[in-house]
Amino acid sequence: MKKIVFIGAGSLVFTKNLVRDLLTFPALADSIIALVDIDEERLGFAKKTVEKIISAGGYPAKVQAHTDRIRALDGADGVVCTILAGSLDVWRKDIEIPKQYGVDINVGDTRGPSGIFRALRTIPVMLDICRDIERYCPQAVFLNYTNPMAMLCRAMQSETNVTVTGLCHSVQGTASMLARWIGAPNEEITYLCAGINHQAFYLDFRWNGQDAYPLIREAMNHPDIYNEEQVRNEMFLHLDYYVTESSGHNSEYNAWFRKRPDLIEKYCTNGTGWNPGEYAYIIKGYEQRQGSWKEQMRRWMEEPVDLIRGEEYAAYIFNATIGDGTLFKFNGNVRNHGLIDNLPDGCCVEVPVLASKKGLEPIHVGALPDQLAALTNISARCEEMAVEGALTGDPRKVFHAVCFDPLTSAVLSLAEIKSMVDEMFEANREYLPQFKHFRS
């Protein structure tokens, strides 16, 4: 029996869907599913949900529930992580403080000042998890879904020997969206996608072997399609390649859409996928989910179980590495050692990876088009400085990482950035034990 551990199993929707996917593979149908969460009530609901899936599918799997991750990790073959480090209140400050300075952030979980401080809080926790894996299950494959993806993976892959990669559903999700726009069945679409997390681009996108980019460009003439993803569609029309992550996220990763109120109104109030384009919408939705999760769980327990396998990568990767060995290619987050020629060596990139019994093997892509390399280089180098700051406890590195963030530098002076960063350090003080002083 294989043992697969879910750290952050209280992320109930994800846990439910991934366990469902895992058990559809015959080689994993008798797995031990070990659930870990610090919230005992949510953990209990997660266990009941998994038990229902096992019963509905008639699987020989078993489920365990733990508040102690070491007991769960002992002897594990696979690990999945979906944690949130820090409280909702500190997340709000990550976004509210920059907004007071004029840096209007939409989601704030990936990069920029809010993503960087989220990384500072989360990197120590992820490294602790990796050290436990090294001790209790050193051969395990570790799949991370926690953001900020690139900075966390960069830290884990440089500081530990764990086989770890980061996964994001935006690659296959956006490919399906583009296929829908041009009327193509998903199974007839092939692509090459590479870059950095949330800023990866389809360098090649084909329908039955034919270049589909002319069809995508033609689709932009339809107002309903253009307005569905205004930011990303503007980026495509001007940069010539389509980016993976949603308009809400991408609006804050560059200097073009959120630096002035009129641009926010034009591009970000609608058509970002995060209407009305303000972080308050995200916070409100999160709070509503937090308040209604018990009712949602009760509905799940009353509804019939859907046993149809989904499209998330994790179950396919586990089947390839610890299951029946069926090869699986996916886009994963790994360090750039000869993978993308014109991004910094050692930074975290998102490239095709082959999963097999041999493990995880990243695939060389080559050089990005110059305009894409220029954009992603800035973000990658900011992430490198932020990770170094997190690992060394150097607030000056953090300040420099924020200085060159495209949106921040489009709005603020250097002195204003320093003041903002110092204020964010103070707001995060209790979560940052690696920093001996908190002024940049």
307: nearest Cα among 32, 47, 16: 16
CA-derived radius of gyration, the chain: 21
Catalytic residue among 169, 198, 238, 437: 169
Measured CA to CA in angstroms, residue 428 lies from 248, 276, 293, 422, 439 at distances of: 25, 28, 27, 10, 12
Report the C-alpha dihedral over residues 228, 229, 230, 231, rounded to 10 degrees: 170
Which class does domain 87-108+167-277+312-440 fall in? Answer: alpha beta
As a whole number of angstroms, the distance between CA 373 and CA 85 comes to 31
Using CA of residue 207, residue 371, residue 345, residue 201, what is the dihedral sign? negative
Task: Report which secondary-structure segment, H or E, holds 207.
Answer: strand 199-207
201: nearest Cα among 178, 223, 218: 178
Q: How open is the CA angle 129-135-141, to the nearest 5 degrees?
A: 65
Q: How high is the pLDDT of residue 277?
A: 42
Q: Is the peptide bond before 276 cis (omega within 30 degrees of 0)?
A: yes
Which residue ranges make up each domain of the chain? Answer: 3-86+109-166, 87-108+167-277+312-440
- Same CATH topology for 3-86+109-166 and 87-108+167-277+312-440: the answer is no
The SS3 of residue 271 is: coil
As a whole number of angstroms, the distance between CA 36 and CA 125 comes to 14
* Whether 54 contacts 307, CB under 8 Å: no
Find the distance separating the first CA and the last CA of the chain, reported in whole Å. 51
Q: How high is the pLDDT of residue 279?
A: 54
Query: Phi and psi of 437, rounded to 5°?
Result: -140, 160
Distant-in-sequence, close-in-space partners of 136: CB < 8 Å, separation ≥ 6:
70, 73, 74, 75, 76
pTM: 0.95
Q: How high is the pLDDT of residue 224?
A: 95
Measured CA to CA in angstroms, residue 30 lies from 3, 9, 17, 168, 181 at distances of: 9, 19, 17, 27, 40
Task: Report which secondary-structure segment, H or E, holds 120.
Answer: helix 112-136
The CATH superfamily assigned to 3-86+109-166 is NAD(P)-binding Rossmann-like Domain (3.40.50.720)
Query: Phi and psi of 63, rounded to 5°?
Result: -125, 140
Q: Tokens at residue 251, please? A: 């609006």
Does the annotation count 198 as an active-site position? no
* Whether 334 contacts 157, CB under 8 Å: yes
Token pair 């990866």 is found at 200
As a whole number of angstroms, the distance between CA 125 and CA 113 comes to 19
pLDDT tens by residue, the chain, 440 residues: 999 999 998 788 889 999 999 999 999 999 999 999 998 988 999 999 999 999 999 999 999 999 999 999 999 999 999 998 877 788 889 999 999 999 999 889 999 999 999 999 999 999 999 999 999 999 999 999 999 999 999 999 999 999 999 999 899 999 999 999 999 999 999 999 999 999 999 999 999 999 999 999 999 999 999 999 999 999 999 999 999 999 999 999 999 999 999 999 999 887 666 554 455 555 555 555 555 667 777 777 778 888 999 989 999 999 999 999 999 999 999 999 999 999 999 999 999 999 999 999 999 999 999 999 999 999 999 999 999 999 999 999 999 999 999 999 999 999 999 999 999 999 999 999 899 877 77
Task: Report which secondary-structure segment, H or E, holds 64.
Answer: strand 62-66
